Amino acid sequence: MQLNMILLGPPGAGKGTQASHLQRLWRIPHISTGAMLRTAVREGTPLGKQAEAIMASGGLLNDELITALVEERLRHDDAHAGFLLDGFPRTIAQAESLDRYMSGRALVIVELALSDENVVKRLASRMVCHNCGTNRQDEGVYPTCHDCGGPLVPREDDKEQVVRNRLEVYRTQTAPLIDYYQGRPTFCRVDGAQLFDNVREDMVRAVKKALTLCSD
């Protein structure tokens, strides 16, 4: 069955890692806000040019423009059989616009839950390759990047105060989406503090159960 999915969770919850697995398993595109913006700008679409001009001037993209960019991306051929959204929606207004765009088609929503303290602890141990930018959290085992062999260094945006500021932004802007979605039968919550394999298994199990509900 077609999987149209939204992945929610705080920074450091492991959304990108888990999304990569779900993308391969269901053979659907993993659409993140950052990648979507870069693609639109690179392709020079009208919306991409508009977004580029706003970002170049230091402005923030409003809900209307972000939503239009997402809908433009969802019209690509590779998203017709399903998609996984990561980083969108971020606001209630964006969620309402997405519901209108879906026109009654089912959405599976998975929250990857992680406490603030676990987020801070996890991101404090995260390293990034100085050369290629690959993230790692097992630097004790692999002191250099497994992709290119470059040195691993701490990420500037993973310093504790920066992380706590990002969490505050998440709570005020994005966490209300949990209240918006959690009453739906296709909403799932997965404990992100578990070992990676356990999180992956729980996510796959939750998504399969939600898809069963979609088909009823």
| Annotated active-site residue in 121, 155, 189, 209 | 155
| Annotated active-site residue in 38, 121, 159, 166 | 166
| Annotated active-site residue in 122, 126, 136, 200 | 126
162: left (phi over 0), alpha (psi -120 to 50) or beta: alpha
Is residue 73 part of the annotated active site? The answer reads no
Is residue 155 part of the annotated active site? The answer reads yes
| Annotated active-site residue in 15, 73, 122, 136 | 15
Residue 173 has what DSSP assignment? I
123 HSE (CA, 13 A, CB side): 23
Is residue 166 part of the annotated active site? The answer reads yes
Residue 5: CB atoms within 10 A of its CB come to: 26
Strand arrangement, sheet containing 152-154: 135-136, 127-129, 152-154
Active site residues: 15, 90, 126, 155, 166
